[in-house]
Amino acid sequence: MADAQHEEQTIRVNGRRQAAEIGLTVERLLERLEITGRYALVERNGSPVPRERFGTVELEPGDEVVIARPVAGG
Amino acid sequence: MPAKGTFMSDELTIDGHTFGSRLILGTGRYATDAAMRSAVEASGAELVTVAVRLVDFDAPAGKADITEALPETTHLLPNTAGAQTARDAVRLARLARAGGLPAWVKLEVIPDERYLLPDPVGTLDAAEQLLSDGFTVLPYINADPVLATRLVDLGCHAVMPLGSPIGSGRGLKLRDSIRIIVEQSSVPVIVDAGLGAPSHAAEALELGADAVLVNTAIAVADDPTAMADAFRLAVLAGRHGFRAGLMEERDRATASSPAAGLVTNG
């Protein structure tokens, strides 16, 4: 049961497990991961999260989060 | 009143947005971010492409945002490089827009890694979805005039036929097809990929292309800043040449000096 409880308190970020307390917002997660600068591109459970909602969208245990950035490319 | 021999207000307009330069730059493959920025500035380009990739928490620069290395006035054109299907491309474009990047997309659907040739069916499918979702769509395509027409009819805001495969530097191998696309298109035609030398860019503009997108040829030059300037000049020269009206090619020679009054006949 301990494992199940642990699972419930984590999310996955780019495939990697990450602790996530109740009420953790996307904005707070980005700060914690030191993703600063102009653009952070975020998907939650397959849906893109609009930047305006980073401060209000609260992540839930078990969420799959993708964080991407603009990189050099043609 | 502009003096004869000059061309004023020759701006590139895409979806109602005007650009002073007909050179669009890719930001990939530069040795450093500083070299990339210097080349962008020297090129005069106002529109540059960026790709979208996952943050890599294990790499030293895995969290870096390339746009921070660009002048703030630069207009960003996110691409969907890496998308092998229409579904991948739509996902990437929506992710970029949600994160605050412009709702413009250089649409690439490329399942083929050897020649990096775009999938026309997937591109058409993704273009339709992105257009109905409000994006400004610039699809990267093989130089297929029928496909270009289909994409323009759907509502795409430009078409981007390739000159030759990405990064090959081989120039306008598909020149005749590009000429047909230029003739038929009601939206800007941007020759993208394969331009390896400034003369290739000039040639594209001379045959009536509205703009070119260049990346590798500048990024891998010994002096990327100087090469960016060379491409800037070539694009201007090609465009001026096109607007001035090129002479028609002939099979035989025509003397440029008078045939009459030869001294040797005197």
**ipTM, two decimals:** 0.90
Domain-located, residue A25: yes
A30 touches chain B (CB under 8 A): no
Question: Rounded mean pLDDT of A27-44?
Answer: 94
State which residues form the domain around A63.
2-68
- Judged on CB neighbours under 10 Å (0-12, 13-18, 19+), B201 is buried
What is the structure's pLDDT at B28?
A: 96
Confirm whether A7 is domain-assigned. yes
Give phi and psi for B244, each to the nearest 5: -75, -20
Question: Quick one: pLDDT at residue B4?
Answer: 59
Q: Does A35 touch chain B (CB under 8 A)?
A: yes
Answer whether B159's CB lies under 8 Å from B189's CB. Answer: yes
Q: How far is B218 from chain A (nearest CA, A)?
A: 11
pLDDT tens series, chain B, 266 aa: 445 555 566 899 999 999 999 999 999 999 999 999 999 999 999 999 999 999 999 888 888 999 999 998 999 999 999 999 999 999 999 999 999 999 999 999 999 888 899 999 999 999 999 999 999 999 999 999 999 999 999 999 999 999 999 889 999 999 999 999 999 999 999 999 999 999 999 999 999 999 999 999 999 999 999 999 999 999 999 999 999 999 998 999 989 999 899 998 87
**Does residue A74 sit within a domain?**
no
Nearest to A40 among B53, B94, B99 (CB): B99
Q: Give me the domains of chain B, ranges plus CATH numbers.
A: 19-244 (3.20.20.70)
The domain that contains A13 carries what CATH number? 3.10.20.30
Answer whether residue A29 is part of any domain.
yes
> Among positive and negative, which fits the CA dihedral A40, A46, A48, A54?
negative
Facing A50 at nearest CB: one of B56, B98, B166: B98
Q: Which residues contact B16 (CB under 8 A, 6 or more apart)?
A: none
CA distance B30 to B6: 35
Residue in the block written with tokens 């106002």? B46
Per-residue confidence (pLDDT) for residue B266, from 0 to 100 = 79
Tell me the residue ranges of DSSP E strands in chain B.
12-14, 17-19, 23-26, 47-54, 75-78, 104-107, 136-141, 160-161, 190-192, 211-214
Beta strand residue intervals within A1-74, DSSP E: 10-13, 16-19, 41-44, 47-48, 64-72
For chain B, list residues whose CB is within 8 angstroms of any CB belonging to chain A. Answer: 26-30, 33, 36, 49-57, 63-68, 76, 78-79, 81, 91, 94-101, 166, 193, 213, 215-216
Q: Would you say residue A13 has pLDDT above 80?
A: yes
What pLDDT, on the 0 to 100 scale, is given for residue B167?
A: 87
| pLDDT (0 to 100) of residue A1 | 43
Say yes or no: A57 contacts chain B, CB-CB below 8 A: no
In a domain, A58, yes or no: yes
**Does residue A7 have a pLDDT over 80?**
no
In a domain, A21, yes or no: yes
Instruction: Give how many domains chain A has, as a whole number.
Output: 1
Question: Rounded to 5 degrees, what are φ and ψ at B214?
Answer: -125, 135
What pLDDT score does B62 carry?
84
B173 is catalytic: no
Distance from CA of B212 to the nearest CA of A (A): 12
Query: What is the C-alpha separation between A42 and A53, in angstroms, rounded?
Result: 11
Q: What integer pLDDT is reported at residue A8 of this predicted model?
A: 57
